[in-house]
Amino acid sequence: GSHSQLEDTAPRIVEHPTDLLVSKGEPATLSCKAEGRPAPSVEWYKDGERVETDREDPRSHRTLLPGGSLFFLRILHGRRGKPDEGVYVCVARNYLGEATSRNASLEVAGE
């Protein structure tokens, strides 16, 4: 019909994250931007597990930006744990379906 621009559409990723090499303690952003109607919700997964952001845990050092990107206040990296290193994907969902971004690996430099 003539109102095609108002039809709901399944999500699609319009900006994919890219591999990052970050120094320990530095901020970092994994980009992700999705389009769809209704506007899709974005979740991030690291090595297959859902990434918690400050929406779930106020003390988290990871923030989901309004556009869908994942922002790290500082990359955490210790002898015992490498909580931020891994392979990330962003998943955008609405009721019509979901779209998954390309894999992006985040590595911590200087180890």
Domain boundaries, the chain: 9-108
Burial 53-76 (b: 16+ CB within 10 A, else e): beeeeeeebbebeeebbbbbeebb
| Per-residue pLDDT at 2 exceeds 70 | no
pLDDT score for 5: 66
> 9-108 has which fold?
Immunoglobulin-like (2.60.40)
Tens of pLDDT, residues 49-69: 999 999 999 999 999 999 999
Answering whether pTM is above 0.85, one says yes
pLDDT score for 31: 98
Helix, strand, coil percentages in the chain from 3-state DSSP, rounded to 5:
5, 45, 50
| Per-residue pLDDT at 111 exceeds 80 | no
Pairing mode, strands 86-94 and 62-64: unpaired
